[in-house]
């Protein structure tokens, strides 16, 4: 391999990117824009759930229960209703997600030491949000019920009454339970895979469409040198995008980076190399920019967004789909990113995922070299 010929191809590709505003914008502006949009807009947090109260009891006990919901950070009390028609209208109009209905005999049942049921009406269009909101509501109701039981026992003369079981939860890795800390690292992998594959998916196809590939074929440049020379500029741009994404995550989104930064960039470079080689392979096979761009988007965005564990947990997918996810390289890189970002682990934990990324990069580079034939066809 002649390094002079490689550097000449690299310089040519760099000049093309710098002179083409669209390519430069795709390389730099698009990843940052996607990170900002998804980082701010995409959230899995369920808090400030809008709710109404229909308090038919109107007693101190019922008001205390309502105050428990009003004082919780997970609920946003939007007032009350006094009839069933208003209750149905507010739910149908999607003004609230849930309504707490307290019956008229609520306080009397509590005072008698009997069960005092309340009704919780939840709009279940979004099943995930509704399920989480119900869990919050049950926790508030259980806390209220527990306090009422202790109070009644003490009123009967049992002063030394204690709760037999007290749960104190301790959250590891994401103590504030911020979904942004979970999303941003995965988002970096998705953006890198999509942008890198799309950039290199155009480089060979562009040469064929513009008629300049014949000139390159006529030169002494070997196929491997041509592939490497075209890969290097986009590798540098991709690592720059990675640096900007890490800086945004650290200083704009305040995502904790607990692991080794050098290890993060080292493994990111392996992933990026494989994705760039994948884009080059697509470009070599298709020889048309439109087809290459569409194929690159299909093979990168959909799998990395849906089948990598970025949003949806792989363990909750059907078993056949779980097997399909094993061929999605973003799955392993997302595991690495979240491990380094949130857990601060190293290669002793991430060795298998790192090895699979190496295999992916090697296969893609070998495939690109095998598919490219330095001849007209």
Q: What is the pLDDT of residue 163?
A: 65
**Residue 98 covered by a domain:** yes
User: Hey, is 75 helix, strand or coil?
Assistant: strand
Predicted local confidence at residue 350, as pLDDT: 95
Alpha carbon distance 87, 92 (integer Å): 9
Query: In this structure, are 276 and 356 located in the same domain?
Result: yes
Q: How far is residue 28's CA from residue 345's CA, in Å, rounded to a whole number?
A: 30
Structural domain contains residue 167? no
Residues 319 and 363 in one domain: yes
Supply the pLDDT for residue 19: 78
Domain identity same for 201 and 243: yes
Here the CATH number for the domain that contains residue 126 is 3.40.1710.10
* 122 beta partners: 98
- Claim to verify: residue 249 and residue 357 sit in the same structural domain: yes
- pLDDT value of position 377: 53
Residues in Cβ contact with 270 at an 8 Å cutoff, skipping those fewer than 6 apart: 354, 357, 358, 361
Helices (H) and strands (E) in the chain, counts: 15, 4
68-81 confidence digits (pLDDT tens): 999 888 999 988 88
Res 159: pLDDT: 66
Low-confidence ranges of the chain (pLDDT < 70): 1, 23, 157-163, 213-214, 374-377
Range of the domain at 364: 3-43+178-371
Residues 207 and 317 in one domain: yes
Q: How many structural domains is the chain composed of?
A: 2
Task: Enumerate residues 6+ apart whose C-beta is below 8 A from 259.
Answer: 339, 340, 341, 343, 344, 345, 346
Cβ pair 34, 191 in contact under 8 A = yes
pLDDT of residue 375: 55
């Amino acid at each position: 391999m002649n390094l002079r010929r490689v550097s000449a191809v690299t310089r040519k590709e760099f000049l093309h990117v710098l002179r083409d505003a669209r390519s430069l914008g795709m390389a730099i502006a698009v990843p940052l824009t996607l990170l900002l949009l998804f980082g701010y807009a995409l959230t899995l947090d369920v808090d400030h759930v809008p709710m109404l109260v229909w308090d038919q009891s109107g007693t101190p006990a019922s008001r205390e229960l309502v105050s428990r919901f009003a004082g919780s950070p997970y609920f946003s009390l939007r007032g009350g209703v006094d009839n069933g028609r208003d209750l149905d209208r507010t739910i149908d109009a999607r003004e609230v997600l849930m309504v707490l209905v307290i019956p008229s005999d609520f306080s009397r049942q509590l005072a008698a030491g009997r069960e005092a049921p309340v009704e919780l009406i939840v709009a279940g269009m979004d099943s995930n949000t509704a399920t989480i909101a119900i869990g919050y509501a049950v926790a508030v109701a259980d806390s209220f019920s527990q306090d009422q039981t202790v109070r009644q026992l003490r009123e009967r003369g049992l002063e030394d009454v204690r709760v037999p079981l007290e749960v104190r939860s301790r959250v590891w890795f994401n103590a504030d339970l911020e979904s942004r800390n979970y999303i941003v690292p995965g988002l970096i992998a998705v953006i890198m895979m999509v942008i890198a594959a799309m950039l290199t998916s155009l480089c060979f196809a562009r040469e064929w469409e513009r008629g300049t590939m014949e000139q390159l074929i006529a030169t002494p440049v070997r196929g491997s040198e041509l592939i490497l020379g075209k890969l290097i500029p986009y590798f540098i741009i991709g690592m720059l995008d990675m640096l900007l994404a890490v800086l945004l995550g650290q200083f704009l989104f305040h995502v904790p980076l607990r692991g080794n930064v050098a290890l993060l960039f080292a493994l990111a470079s392996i992933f990026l190399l494989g994705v760039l080689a994948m884009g080059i392979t697509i470009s070599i096979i298709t020889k048309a920019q439109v087809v290459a761009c569409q194929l690159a988007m299909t093979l990168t965005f959909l799998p990395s967004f849906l089948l990598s564990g970025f949003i949806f947990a792989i363990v909750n997918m059907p078993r056949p789909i779980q097997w399909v996810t094993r061929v999605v390289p973003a799955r392993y890189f997302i595991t690495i990113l979240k491990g380094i970002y949130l857990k601060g682990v190293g290669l002793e934990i991430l060795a298998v995922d790192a090895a699979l990324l190496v295999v992916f990069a090697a296969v893609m580079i070998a495939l690109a070299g095998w598919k490219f034939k330095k001849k007209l066809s």
